[in-house]
Structure formats: structure tokens, C-alpha cells
Amino acid sequence: MGSLETLSWLNRFLDETPGDREIGGEPRQVPGVCWSKVKPTEPPQPRLRLWSDEMAERLGIVRPNGVILGGGALLEGMQPYAQRYGGHQFGNWANQLGDGRAITLGEVELADEVLELQLKGAGKTPYSRFADGKAVLRSSIREFLCSEAMYHLGVPTTRALSLVTTGEVVVRDMLYDGNPAPEIGAVVCRVAPSFIRFGSFQIHTADGNHETLVKLLKHTINNHFPEHNIDNDEGIISWLKKVAETTAEMIAHWMRVGFVHGVMNTDNMSIHGLTIDYGPYGWLENYDPNWTPNTTDSSTRRYRYGQQAQIGAWNIARLAEAVAPLMDDVQSLYSVLEHYENKYIEYQNTMWGLKLGIDDFAEADEALVIELDGLLQKVETDMTIFFRMLSTIESPEIGLLESSFYDKNTIPTDEWNEWLHKWWKRVNSKPNQEAMRRANPKYVLRNWMAQLAIDAAENEDYTVCEELFTLLKQPYDEQPEMEEKWFQKRPEWARHRVGCSMLSCSS
Ligand code: AMP
Ligand code: MG
């Protein structure tokens, strides 16, 4: 094992795309570039609080103190920068956004891949706009725990290596209702092949800067999609289809585990099809396709659970538009959207086959799913518990699934038994329960679980964070000793609690 000091750093993004070499500076428009050089802000009292052993092992490093991963010192070879990108926010073009509080330290070269290490919350950059570039403990815990939990669930995601508290007070108006309060500052180090987003391309097209657009595309293809090219329309289409495919696959996984991203703006869409930018995300507890955790989105619910696949398509269309200036025949871009849709249906059917233990899931089975979707919404039904219990029952009786319901007196028993019998018949009384137990997690990071971890950590107690971190590394295992505490429906106190049922972008 080495240490942070022994890692070898690459800076391919800086070497291969145009940038702004003046370090830091005030928030401003920086036309024509893909990045700006910045310096992380030194934290007064950095303390390493959470550490991902698996991620560290992948990087081949031992646990450090909090100085470097809190932004307090640079190692030789690091050339920190903030990325410039734009994006559509809630359907509207927002122009330049960029890494307002993310700072990439550099790329680490491993034997078989190159990974980028990025600090989130280490201070201002030219893209900070009106904000402070900092992050608070609650949102940092949510990002750390959730990205690692998603990884262990098998959902494509950026990873987290560390969480450092900075010793600094950060003021936030959590619900944007005129009640600013001091909070604990924190920095998460996250890891991904790159943090390039759909919006990274969009901004150059919006600027009409095709030269930079092409340079960024070439960098992206050469380093991250070596089997692709952008030499002609065919190459571009084939690459876009690849991005469409990975995006569709990621969203199908979200649907499988009940994850709602909450802010699927095009600046939050990874070019690698990774879940990125954990903000006001949430997990379905009672199955409600209209649910969104994001209070900022409560009026239109654009990013609700049930609409995530459609939004994925909308976002892919924006990416296709961004590369349209390089195409001879723009019309052929429609094939990318068709591909997205076909692939999504394919992934969705695979998912339902696994969730319901139907090995040869076919189009004809979609009716069964539609009926199930309706039934799950009839009365409050816990999604995770329902599917997990369904993976274990020995006969098709709703009584065996009783614990998934919030109010046992309201269960539409006859309708359920009818559906269960249909399903049972379809699987010849032998659902593939092994497949089901690998598709229907027993433990997910329910909103109230994260909140309990946060409440304790805000009082200097990180044991709940550690307990959840350990629990969520084996989300498909029974872990019977954990059931009573964590295989549970949302408790009453969490129903209307801020941070559980309601989250904002404030972080
Ligand atoms: P998000 O909704 O978190 O994806 O953020 C949208 C934009 O706001 C991105 O450009 C972020 O970098 C920026 N941003 C969010 N929070 C802060 C902050 N505390 N300081 C500076 N920029 C921020
Ligand atoms: Mg973002």
C-alpha cells in the first residue's frame, strides 16, 4: 500500500483542452475555456471523519489525516482546477454554471485505469456565482453514504473516498425561507473516471465556440471512449448512442432500487452514465411515482420518480443538440433518441424480470407490471419491504407481505391476492427467488436513516454513519441482526421532517 503522497498524478484535461491559467479570481464569465486554475481554501481545522476502505484499496493508499483531502495542502503533481460547464436547469437554459464548489486535484494513474479525484466544498472558484463554494456536513454525509451505497447496490455512480470536516462554520438557509443558521463545514473527496457532464459540451455550442467543442470532444473520446471516434456523422452517432445506452441503464437501476435523483439538470448528467451530484435526492418509501424529494421542484415535479426515464431522453436530446454543429446530417441525430428509448425498454424489462423472478420476461408480461404499479399505489406500501418480502414468500398470499403496508386495516386484500395468483401462475409457482434477492435490496439509504446519521454526526458522533456505511456495503444480504433497526418502514417522526420528506438544493 502506498499513500496519497506516492500516487502519480496526470493532468490530461489541462494538457488537452483550452483553459484559463490565472489562478482563482472573482466569479466571472470565462468564455472559450474548459477549466480555470484554482486553489482550494485551507480549512482551519481539518479532521478526517469518514473514509472508504474499498475506494482507498482501489487507489492503493492508506488512511491519511484530513489536511490534503480537506484542501489544506497540495502534493507534487496536483494542478487543481474547476471545470467550466453550462446546463439546462429545470428545463431552462442557464448558460455558464461550472464547478462552483468542486475542485479537481488531478487524475491518478492506476495500472488499469485513470481516476479523477475531486474535492467538493473546498472553496470559491470563478464559477461560484453568488455562493461561497463551501459544503455543509449534512449534505456531505448524504453524498458520501449514498454514493458508496449506490456502488454496492450495483448502480453506476461516482464514488466517495473521504469526508473531512473543516472546522469552519458555514451559514445556510436550509429551506430558503429566511432562516439562515450556522452549520458545520465539510469537504468530500469524490472519485470518477471524469466529471465531464452533458453541460460541459453544451456551453461551447451555446457560445458558438466550435473549436473548443471539438477539443473537448476529442479529449473525451481519446481518453474515455477509445473505441469511438468523431471523424464523421457515423462516429458521432455511435458515440452518442453509447452515452444514451449508459444513461438509460443507470436510470433503469434507479427505478429498480427506488432512487430519485431530484435534480436531473443537464449539468448533473455524467457523460459516463454515472449517478453524479448527490443533492436533494431521496428514496421511495411508500411507492409513489409522483414523489420528488426536491422542494425546489414541488410545483411541477419535473424530476419525480416516475418521470426519470423521460427526463433522461430529454437530456440526451440536449446533448445531441450540443454536438449538432459537427454533423453533416443533423436529422440522423433522431436515431440516438430512438436508441435511448429501445435500450431503456430493454433494461426496464430485464429489471422487471429480475424483480419479479420471471426468467423469460416478455412483452406480454408488461400487463402484470402495470397492474402491480397501480396496486402499489392504492394504499401506502413500502417499496423496498414489499419487493424484498416478495422475494421470499412460499405461497401467493398478501398476508405474508403484511409488513410492507403502513396501515394493515386498509390492505385491498382481494385485489392483491388476485394479482399474486396471476404472478404465481406465470412463474409456475417457482419465482426465481435467488435473482429476486439480488435485484430487490433489503437495505437502502432511506431518507430518515441518513437523517439519523446526520443528527448524531452534528453532535460529534459518527457511529451511526459508520453503522450505515457497513450495513449498506451488503444491501442484498439478510443481515438479520440489523433488521429490527433498519429493515423498517419510515417512522412517523420522519413523515414531515425536513431532511426526510423535504430537501432543498441548499447544501
Ligand atoms: P447543483 O444544483 O448542486 O448541481 O448546482 C448548480 C450550480 O450551482 C453548480 O454550478 C454548482 O457548482 C453551483 N453551486 C451549488 N452550491 C454552491 C455553493 N455553495 N457555492 C458555489 N457554487 C455552488
Ligand atoms: Mg451540479
The string of DSSP letters for 288-312 reads -TT--SBGGGTTT-TT-GGGHHHHH
Q: Is the pLDDT of residue 46 over 90?
A: yes
Cα–Cα distances (Å) from 197 to 69, 265, 305, in that order, read 23, 10, 21
Grid coordinates representing 217 are 470532444
Cα–Cα distances (Å) from 143 to 2, 186, 366, in that order, read 26, 11, 34
Residues near 394 by Cβ (< 8 Å), separated by ≥ 6?
A: 400
pLDDT at site 217: 98
Residues 17 and 80 in one domain: yes
pLDDT at site 464: 98
Instruction: Pick the last residue of a domain from 353, 379, 407.
Output: 353
Place of cell 503522497: 5
Residues 271 and 379 in one domain: no
Q: What is the DSSP letter of 208?
A: T
Burial zone of 112 (CB within 10 Å; 0-12 exposed, 13-18 middle, 19+ buried): exposed
DSSP 103-141: EEEEEEE-SS-EEEEEEESB---TT-TTS-SB-BHHHHH
Residues 134 and 36 in one domain: yes
The best mutation among 81, 93, 99, 101 to test binding of ligand 1, ranked by most ligand atoms within 8 Å of the C-beta, falls on 101
From the list 99, 267, 297, 382, the catalytic residue is 267
210 domain residue, yes or no: no
In angstroms, rounded to a whole number, what is the distance separating the alpha carbons of residues 473 and 335? 39
- Is the CB of 132 inside a 6 Å radius of any atom of ligand 1? yes
Q: What is the DSSP letter of 269?
A: -
Residues 258 and 379 in one domain: no
The best mutation among 41, 129, 188 to test binding of ligand 1, ranked by most ligand atoms within 8 Å of the C-beta, falls on 129
Place of cell 470559491: 124
- Is the CB of 504 inside a 6 Å radius of any atom of ligand 1? no
In angstroms, rounded to a whole number, what is the distance separating the alpha carbons of residues 124 and 102? 9
Ligand 2 center–CA 394 separation, angstroms: 45
In angstroms, rounded to a whole number, what is the distance separating the alpha carbons of residues 214 and 324? 12
Residues 31 and 90 in one domain: yes
Backbone angles phi, psi at 310, to 5 degrees: -65, -40
Per-residue pLDDT tens over the stretch 191-209:
999 999 999 999 999 999 9
The best mutation among 85, 172, 267 to test binding of ligand 1, ranked by most ligand atoms within 8 Å of the C-beta, falls on 267
436 domain residue, yes or no: no
Cα–Cα distances (Å) from 142 to 363, 399, 445, 484, in that order, read 38, 35, 9, 23
299 domain residue, yes or no: yes
305 domain residue, yes or no: yes
pTM: 0.98
Mean predicted lDDT score pLDDT of the chain: 97
- Residue 226 · residue 319 · CB < 8 Å: no
Closest atom of ligand 1 relative to the 263 alpha carbon: 2
Closest atom of ligand 1 relative to the 267 alpha carbon: 4
Local structure of 473: helix, strand or coil: coil
Report the length, in residues, of the chain: 507
Give the domain range for residue 73: 4-196
Residue 461 a catalytic site member: no
Ligand 1 center–CA 263 separation, angstroms: 12
In angstroms, rounded to a whole number, what is the distance separating the alpha carbons of residues 492 and 489? 9
Per-residue pLDDT tens over the stretch 50-87:
999 999 999 999 999 999 999 999 999 999 999 999 99
Domains of the chain: total: 4
Nearest CA among 378, 380, 370 for reference residue 306: 370
504 domain residue, yes or no: no
Instruction: Pick the last residue of a domain from 430, 459, 486.
Output: 430
- Is the CB of 167 inside a 6 Å radius of any atom of ligand 1? no
86 domain residue, yes or no: yes
pLDDT at site 176: 87
Local structure of 163: helix, strand or coil: strand
463 domain residue, yes or no: yes
Residues 292 and 186 in one domain: no
Residues 76 and 191 in one domain: yes
Residues 369 and 483 in one domain: no
Residues 47 and 188 in one domain: yes
Per-residue pLDDT tens over the stretch 89-123:
999 999 999 999 999 999 999 999 999 999 999 99
Residues 191 and 92 in one domain: yes
Ligand nearest, relative to CA of residue 127: 1
Nearest-CA residue for ligand 1 atom 19 is 133
Residues 139 and 50 in one domain: yes
Q: Is the pLDDT of residue 263 over 90?
A: yes
Q: What is the DSSP letter of 193?
A: S
94 domain residue, yes or no: yes
465-476 b/e (C-beta count within 10 Å ≥ 16 → b): bbbbbebbbebb
pLDDT at site 436: 98
Residues 299 and 375 in one domain: no
Nearest-CA residue for ligand 1 atom 13 is 100
Q: Is 240 left (phi over 0), alpha (psi -120 to 50) or beta?
A: alpha
Closest atom of ligand 1 relative to the 135 alpha carbon: 19
